[in-house]
Each structure stands twice: as structure tokens, then as C-alpha cells.
Structure 1
Amino acid sequence: MGVAIRAADEGDRELVVRLLDEAFQDDPVSGWVFPGDEYRRTTHHRLMAAFTGIVLAEGRIDVTEDGSACALWLSVPATEHDAAEDAADDGAAQLRAAVDPENERVELIARLTAEIHPAGRAHEYLWMIGVTPERQGEGLGSTLVQHVLDRCDREGLPAYLEASNARSRVLYERLGFELTGRPLDLPSGPQMWPMWREPRG
């Protein structure tokens, strides 16, 4: 599939936030964090803006040249699990304060995903991928992810993600990711699937 991909910069911030907000409005995990359609419509974008800011500062955001899809990646160093969890705890509380202070689920989702995040080996972390709803199902997401997986294979790096719905889980399995450990059961909510991919070749 001939899709032009470039690295996003500060000038793409609003585009990325809009893409993520639109792409995840109907996602089960977003629905759990922000229950109720109206609440989600008016608040969800703040969480996507926070994620975008973090990754613009610390990672890499790939966007398709036509602005229809984006992928947020962080390069995670080899760390001790306790140290990584302590840092995540601080970040989770700050995230809630910045996004929606009355919503404990904003902090909880950050803590729970940090608890299951693998430590010990450096890897690329696919935090989120968003495709504008009218373009979903065209292979843009697969192309964006494969763009980084090709580099992972060249450099001998594994990759990690948490799938937030069954459809994306199937996509990631096709790209070589496998379930690692048990699914994460959100309290009174949906499951997330931690997935790991060893480098190939």
C-alpha cells in the first residue's frame, strides 16, 4: 500500500488530537474512562491532548501525509519494574489533575497499564494509533505500525502494546504480536490485551 508517512511536529498537535479523539469515541476503554456519550464528547479530547503532548515531547508520532491516521510511539529503555511503576504512579496522578480531576478512572487506567507493562528489556511501545473513522478498514493502521516494526526488525528491538478492543487485537496478531500474560480486566469494564512482538529476521 503506497502511503506516505512522516514524523509529526508541534504544528501537527491539533491534527493528532482530533484524529485520536474521533478514532476512540466508540472504543470500549474510552467509553469506560468517560461513560456517557455527551461526557465523552466534551471531555475525551483532553486526555488525547495530554497523550499527544507527552509523546511529542518524549517519543515519536507518525502521521500519514494526508492526515488521516497517526501512531504514537515511545522508546522504552530497559528498566527495573519498581522504578518504572514509581514513575508511572506520579505521572498517573498528574494526568488526572490535568485532564479531569474528578474522574478517578483517568488515573486508574494509567496505573493499571503501568502495572502490566513489561520491564527489563528495551522496546518500542505503541501507545495509540488513530485512523479517522471514514478511513478505517483501509489498511492505514497496519501500514503505520509496520513502518516502525520494520525498523524494530533491523535493530533487533521488540515491540509492545495494549489492544483496547477485539478488532485491534486481531490486527496486531496479524502483525506478529502475541498475548503476553493475562488480559487486563478493568473494574466493571472491558478487557485490554497486553501484546508483545519479538523482532524478526
Structure 2
Amino acid sequence: MVTEQHVVRQVRRGEVDAAAATLARAFDEDPVMRWMFGDAATLRAGLPRMFGTMIRRFHLHHHATELVAGAGGPLGVATWDPPGRWRTPWWRTVWAVPSLLRAMQGRVEAGQAVISAIDAVHPDEPHWYLAYLGTEPTAQREGIGGRLLRSRLAVCDAEAMPAYLESSNEANVPYYRSFGFEVTREIVVPDGGPTRWAMWRPPAAA
């Protein structure tokens, strides 16, 4: 059960592995992740490492990776990038490559195909970018994801800044619409790859 103790706060450096494990469990049946990793065994071995690397190397320094904590660890995690900072500098990418190679276990080409497809159409207009949002499966439908979304969307509105995301599961599109996001395009990975739904939310009127 969610209580008032379960507030949204930034992920601390010592919590990165726990946050990554929560995201990995949340994305266990995600269509895009399943396609990227090829099979369930490879996904479950590599996904925690992938998320851990991405949080540690790409997102944590933005001070906008947030969680809702429970007694046993994170109940939900959201990784946001501030306006103008969604694109990872080359040197951070180089820094992360060895760990990502181990995580992907020979599926690097599939992962790069997904990244290239979404990067090619990423909006140029300044915005807050929601890279990942996931809830611990045992805590789903308890409002955890909504808490995480409202926390950062309040910042977007205060700054009069749009928000952007790509939903990797069509079933989640109505959920994001309930928070003001609308689909702007479908992003299809070439050669039989999966589809993601680009969604944009303008800031709420003052």
C-alpha cells in the first residue's frame, strides 16, 4: 500500500543499482526491450546492467532522476533530461560503451537501430525529456507512476516548458494522454523493428 511516506525524491548515487533493477522488472515484457535483447533470458541478464549504466553515465548528473521509495527499495523510477541536454556527449558515450556491450550480449546492432530511429526525429525545441518511467510490478496501479509524472510536470509548467517522451508500448498511450501528452508521430525501427509513439505535452496555462 502506498502511504504519505512515499514521496518523490532524487535517486542517490548509492541507489542506482536498485533503481536500475526496478526499471528492469518494469520493462520485462516491454515490446521494444524484448526485440532489442532477442529473448527473455538475455533481456533479464542484460537489462539491469543497461539501465544501471544509463542512469549512472547519462542521467544522474542532471539531478532529475527520481524515485518513489518503499520499505524494500524503489517502487518506481523516472529518468528525465533537462531542456537542451537530452543528447549524450560523445565522451560520456565512450565511457559507457564497455558496460553497454556486456549488457547487450551481441545485440548491439539492434540497440543501435532503436537509438538511431528515435534520435533522428527528436524535437529541436527545448523541452524536458522523459527517457524512462517504470513501476515495480508489485506496486503497479497504486499511483506510483502518476506521482513521478506530476512531480516533474509541475516543474515543466512552472518553467513554461514542454515535455516529450516515446512510449514503447501502445497500451500506455492512453495513460500518458491523461497527463496531457499527445501522439505526434509513430517511430518505426527499419527492417521489421518495433514501433514507438512520440508524445508531446505543452506546458499547462498559468
TM-score of the aligned structures, taking structure 1 as reference length: 0.86
Larger helix proportion, structure 1 or 2? 1
Measured after TM superposition, the shift of residue 189 of structure 1 is: 2.9
Percentage of pairs with the same residue? 27
Alignment of 1:43-192 (within 5 A): 43-53=46-56, 54-66=58-70, 67-77=74-84, 97-100=98-101, 102-103=106-107, 104-119=109-124, 121-180=125-184, 182-187=185-190, 188-192=192-196
Alignment of 1:13-52 (within 5 A): 13-52=16-55
Secondary structure, aligned partner of 2:82? strand
Whether the 8 Å CA contact 1:88–1:114 is kept in 2: the answer is no
Measured after TM superposition, the shift of residue 57 of structure 1 is: 2.3
**Matched length:** 193
In structure 2, stretches of 5+ residues that fail to align are none
In structure 1, stretches of 5+ residues that fail to align are none
> Any idea what the Cα deviations from partners look like across 1:73-107, whole Å, max 9, x if unmatched?
0003289xxxx6xx678877876653127321122
TM-score of the aligned structures, taking structure 2 as reference length: 0.84
Measured after TM superposition, the shift of residue 163 of structure 1 is: 0.5
- How large is the RMSD of aligned CA atoms in angstroms? 2.4
Measured after TM superposition, the shift of residue 8 of structure 1 is: 1.1
